[in-house]
């Protein structure tokens, strides 16, 4: 059985017929072809699929596409400026080498942006605690933490 899903993605309307069991991450990647949102575990454990839904970070692998009906979604592709200027968090990750293989980076960036909404100037312990649901298998988090601290200081 299919359902029609209509939502706003990165500021633009999006609609499609999908099977009712389609996950939001699959809708984003396969239907909309926005492949920056990664699938890592399909169990909401790794955070690679993190997006913003109505301004809050959520893991899109454990939400059905039809649950996003009428919602506003922002993916990693939607946070840079239209002219290609990186979002301050993306720039902080770049400047502080907060990535290695890059697989976890979109989810980390999206989680970090949401984190700074709640904790504008977090200390290292807060950053590490808030990143608990995002896994990086390469960097050991040190440079990710540095990048988030730098972004928080840049917005001061």
Give the CATH number, domain containing residue 31. 3.10.20.30
- Rounded Cα distance between 44 and 50, Å, is 9
68 and 12 in one domain? yes
| pLDDT of 45 | 87
68 and 8 in one domain? yes
| pLDDT of 41 | 86
61 and 8 in one domain? yes
Q: How many domains does the chain have?
A: 2
| pLDDT of 72 | 98
Backbone φ/ψ region at 97: left (φ over 0), alpha (ψ -120 to 50), beta: left
- Rounded Cα distance between 114 and 106, Å, is 13
3-state DSSP call for residue 13? strand
- Rounded Cα distance between 24 and 41, Å, is 14
| pLDDT of 100 | 87
> What CATH number does residue 111 fall under?
1.10.150.120
29 and 9 in one domain? yes
| pLDDT of 140 | 67
| pLDDT of 156 | 59
101 and 64 in one domain? no
Question: Residue 148's closest CA among 139, 128, 137, 133?
Answer: 128
| pLDDT of 154 | 84
Query: Which secondary structure element, helix H or strand E, spans residue 154, and what is its range?
Result: helix 142-154
pTM comes to 0.94
Asked if residue 130 is part of any domain, the answer here is yes
Asked if residue 83 is part of any domain, the answer here is no
Which range of residues forms the domain containing residue 50? 2-78
> Which residues in the chain land under pLDDT 70?
140, 156
Asked if residue 150 is part of any domain, the answer here is yes
3-state DSSP call for residue 76? helix
Give the per-residue SS3 of 101-123.
CCCCHHHHHHHHHHHHHHCCCCC
124 and 74 in one domain? no
| pLDDT of 70 | 98
69 and 92 in one domain? no
């Amino acid at each position: 059985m299919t359902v029609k899903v209509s939502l706003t993605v990165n500021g633009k309307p999006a609609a499609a017929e999908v099977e009712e069991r389609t996950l939001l991450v699959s809708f984003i990647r396969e239907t909309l072809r926005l492949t920056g949102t990664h699938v890592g575990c399909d169990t909401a454990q790794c955070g690679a699929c993190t997006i913003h839904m109505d301004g809050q970070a959520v893991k899109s692998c454990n939400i059905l596409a039809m649950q996003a009906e009428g919602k506003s979604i922002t993916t990693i592709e939607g946070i840079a400026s239209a002219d290609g200027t990186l979002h301050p968090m993306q720039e902080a990750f770049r400047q502080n080498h907060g990535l290695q293989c890059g697989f976890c980076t979109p989810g980390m960036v999206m989680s970090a942006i949401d984190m700074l909404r709640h904790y504008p100037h977090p200390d290292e312990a807060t950053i590490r605690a808030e990143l608990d649901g995002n896994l990086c298998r390469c960097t050991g988090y040190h440079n990710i933490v540095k990048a988030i601290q730098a972004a928080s200081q840049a917005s001061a």
